[in-house]
Structure 1
Amino acid sequence: MFSTVVQLYRLLGRPALLDDRIVYNGACTAEIRECIVKCRSLAERFGQLVEADETNGNIEVEFYLPTSESGRFHLDFISFVRATPTLGKGKLPENFYVIEDDWSTTDGIENSSYDSVKACCDLIDGLCGLVAVADRKSSTFHENIFFALPADENRKPKTFVLETKVDESILSLNLRHVKLVKLLSSAHNEHKIHLEERKLIFSSAIADVIELAGEEAVFPFILKHWDEVLQKYWQNLQAYVHGFSFDKVRTELAKAELEYGTKLSSVLSDMAGKMLALPVSFGALVLLDKAVAPIEVMSIAVGVLMVTLIFCGVLWNQKLNIQRLDNSLNITFDLFDKRLNTYPGNLQRLLTNTRKEISSQRKFLVMTLWFFLVLAVLPTLMMIGMFSYKWMPQLICFLFDF
């Protein structure tokens, strides 16, 4: 294993390398002896022990280091980045050792330079899954990722190609929230709500920053301005969420207004339909005026009184319906009023105008209700007046005679 090679190099005092070889001639310890035994059993891809002769407590060691994906030694992280072009494909070697830092991937210890390189590789891999079009085959050492800006009033639609060529500048970067890109591009999250919208918003944020690059190399420019990409993404996401939320409020508001208006209209229609029988009461007054026999007078009077009572009952029931609709509407608008300050100005004005229009419609309906109530009671009042001046004496005589 590669950790055994690193252990041997450290036990030998980290000697200078000669053409990817460890050459050592010096004292031999039990640890060195034990490590050499382990190296003899290593697979060839992890290096090759050519010579290990021990004489009088000294040992001569010659070990050819691995120079493949199985492991590699590098002078420093700059040499590592330059010698590993596959970083542009988002592929990070599993085993390597950096002499300057005396650090290996097998140590299990954090290293800031390694973290920067790993973040860059994760970002490249995430960006490929984020966009709809990515050319991953035409180049061996980098990806071609396509980003697009839609047209608006001030510009035509644009398409950008992001070539993920890396250099040693990635070592000084601190890429934040790379995990976010990985989550957006992960197949495990493909069924989450609004995922596609969030991916498009992030892609648009990257395209906005690419547009500012000018003649600079695009990928290093994006890495350098990664915080700006994140800022644009959060701003656009908030605008989208608020817009979605406000559209929902508008829909609910329109629905509440339509439903309340429809029910008020149905109350008016129902009331108007029943009030069509009201002229019968006034017609009965004409018959009452022409009636001679006391039995005719009593019959018509009772009929007029019954019609008045029925109309008053109908109108009272409609008043209860209006009150019930008011309670339902108030509950709905109370929910809107609690969040009124969080809505944009146009939505606040829409809510205020809606309340005014509904209030106007309600006032008109109440006035109509009182008007019909007066009309419903008027025949009875007129009948009472007629009784007082015309038939009361006759009715009294009739009752005494009876």
Structure 2
Amino acid sequence: MAHLDVVQLYREVNRPEIPDNEFSGRIAASAENIQRLKSSLDPHRVDFAAQGDEDLVDQMERLQTDGAPIDIKIRLGSKAVGKWYKSAINLLLSCASLKKGVFPTSFYLIDEDVCYPEESHPIIDELKRFCEFIHVLLKLAHYHDTKNSTTGITTVVFVASISEISKPLLLDIHTSQEMIECIPQDFSFMSYLISDEAKLEPHYHEKLHVFSSTLLEFINSDEAPTDAFSKLVRSWDKFVEMYQKNLSTYLSGFTFHKAKREVAQAEIDIANQLSNIISDITNKILTVPVSLAAIIPFFNYNFSFFECSILTLGLLITSVIISGSIDNQKNRLDSIEESKILVLQSIDGKKEQYPKDLSLSIEKMKDRLNKCFSNARKWLICYRILSWTPVVVAMIVFLLFRNR
């Protein structure tokens, strides 16, 4: 409260001009003022007297609180803590910590008559926002240089790639009187980029790259570092608009390529499963020629009825087994078709977001898959007929030749 005590004493003497960093005046010897004078007012130095030049340093406890006047003179300290500034603009121009993204812990603005942190004022909120903007910018930078202590300027460096060529961008963080009127109002997306939550997102590093690239695109790398920072602050809304467009373009491109891969992979997976079904059936249907060869002995009249019956029964069992395999493959085909429908439904659900060429590719893929499923079902029907051909032919031959 010592800082506020000095400010209250300054107000008691009607806020006079402060030449040579000190002020003086007469205050009433009220209980509040006596308490303020007795408190530690470091780093400020206070001299006071009552009724003229009488020194009351040793008589502090005996001061009367009857309203008697006390002449005071206060010399303001030069430390950063509790420092006094002529105005908000003066603080913006001369406060070194503000340019490093660190808001001063306490100060007094004379023209605005506001004592921070004990008192609030809209201009304080503006200064805090500007300080936070610098803090976030420093966090997002690849590195920064604060060696230039004589000028109090911090140089921020961003490195970005344009046309596969890495270029550095330098911004000298400085303040000017016009900046108080164009402090960025909304930079929440920047604050989010330095948060722990953002670092868990899948495109975190890409977003940082888009930010740096947009900064380099918005501010020519050949521009003077001081002018670069001024341009960023003055044209903040235009920069945000450009960043949002670039980010949207990147995410749309990523989504497009991801969707394209998903569509291609879905077609490959379904086609492979169909191919497996046809291959499995083809391997089994190769037994049909062998089964047909088993009919040849029927033309031999030396074969007995029992022997021909055994051969016919064997062919019947073979046909039943092959037919059962075909039924199993048909069930697999039905399951794959259900999966195909679910995959295509998930793809169609985002169809409106896709560009025209991807939508066209999806339609062509659906036509190809429908033809593949149609052909697969036709082949299953053919294989089913072929599976029963040996036993049917055997029975016909058996009956014809046995009747002769």
TM-score range, shorter chain: 0.7 to 0.9
Question: What is the alpha-carbon distance in structure 1 between the residues aligned to residue 273 and residue 293 of structure 2?
Answer: 32
Question: What is the alpha-carbon distance in structure 2 between the residues aligned to residue 80 and residue 275 of structure 1?
Answer: 91
Q: Secondary structure at the match of 1:23?
A: strand
- 2:41 counterpart residue number: 42
* RMSD, aligned CA: 2.8
Report how far residue 8 of structure 1 moved.
Answer: 1.2
Question: What is the alpha-carbon distance in structure 1 between the residues aligned to residue 365 and residue 146 of structure 2?
Answer: 55
257-266 or 212-221: which moved more?
A: 212-221
Compared with structure 1, are the counterparts of its residues 188 and 301 closer, same or farther at alpha carbon in structure 2 (3 Å cutoff)? closer
Report matched runs for 1:346-361 at 5 Å.
Answer: 346-361=357-372
Counterpart code for 2:247: L
Confirm or deny: 8 A CA contact 1:11 1:31 kept in the other structure.
Answer: no
Confirm or deny: 8 A CA contact 1:147 1:161 kept in the other structure.
Answer: yes
Aligned counterpart in structure 2 of residue 121 of structure 1, from 121, 131, 146? 131
Compared with structure 1, are the counterparts of its residues 50 and 374 closer, same or farther at alpha carbon in structure 2 (3 Å cutoff)? same
Confirm or deny: 8 A CA contact 1:291 1:297 kept in the other structure.
Answer: no
Question: What is the alpha-carbon distance in structure 2 between the residues aligned to residue 26 and residue 119 of structure 1?
Answer: 37
Compared with structure 1, are the counterparts of its residues 72 and 138 closer, same or farther at alpha carbon in structure 2 (3 Å cutoff)? closer
Compared with structure 1, are the counterparts of its residues 359 and 188 closer, same or farther at alpha carbon in structure 2 (3 Å cutoff)? closer
- 2:305 counterpart residue number: 294
Confirm or deny: 8 A CA contact 2:81 2:105 kept in the other structure.
Answer: yes
Question: What is the alpha-carbon distance in structure 2 between the residues aligned to residue 212 and residue 218 of structure 1?
Answer: 9
- 2:60 counterpart residue number: none
Question: What is the alpha-carbon distance in structure 2 between the residues aligned to residue 240 and residue 151 of structure 1?
Answer: 14
Report matched runs for 1:195-344 at 5 Å.
Answer: 195-211=204-220, 217-292=227-302, 293-344=304-355
Report matched runs for 1:59-138 at 5 Å.
Answer: 59-111=70-122, 113-138=123-148
- 2:378 counterpart residue number: 367
Q: Secondary structure at the match of 1:70?
A: coil
Which blocks of at least 5 consecutive residues in structure 2 are unaligned?
Answer: 53-66
- 2:58 counterpart residue number: none
Compared with structure 1, are the counterparts of its residues 67 and 322 closer, same or farther at alpha carbon in structure 2 (3 Å cutoff)? same
Compared with structure 1, are the counterparts of its residues 213 and 123 closer, same or farther at alpha carbon in structure 2 (3 Å cutoff)? farther
Question: What is the alpha-carbon distance in structure 1 between the residues aligned to residue 120 and residue 249 of structure 2?
Answer: 41
Report how far residue 184 of structure 1 moved.
Answer: 2.5
Counterpart code for 2:154: E
Identical residues among aligned pairs (%): 24
Confirm or deny: 8 A CA contact 2:29 2:69 kept in the other structure.
Answer: yes
Which blocks of at least 5 consecutive residues in structure 1 are unaligned?
Answer: 395-402
- 2:182 counterpart residue number: 173
Confirm or deny: 8 A CA contact 2:22 2:75 kept in the other structure.
Answer: yes
1:284-313 CA distance string (max 9 Å, x none): 232223345322332232233222222222
1:51 to 2:52 alignment: no
Confirm or deny: 8 A CA contact 1:26 1:59 kept in the other structure.
Answer: yes
184-193 or 173-182: which moved more?
A: 184-193
Report how far residue 250 of structure 1 moved.
Answer: 3.3
Report how far residue 28 of structure 1 moved.
Answer: 4.4
- 1:400 counterpart residue number: none
Q: Secondary structure at the match of 1:145?
A: strand
188-197 or 48-57: which moved more?
A: 188-197
Q: TM-score, normalised by structure 1?
A: 0.85
Q: Secondary structure at the match of 1:211?
A: coil
Report how far residue 387 of structure 1 moved.
Answer: 5.0
Confirm or deny: 8 A CA contact 1:120 1:170 kept in the other structure.
Answer: no
1:308-349 CA distance string (max 9 Å, x none): 222222212111111111112222222112222122323323
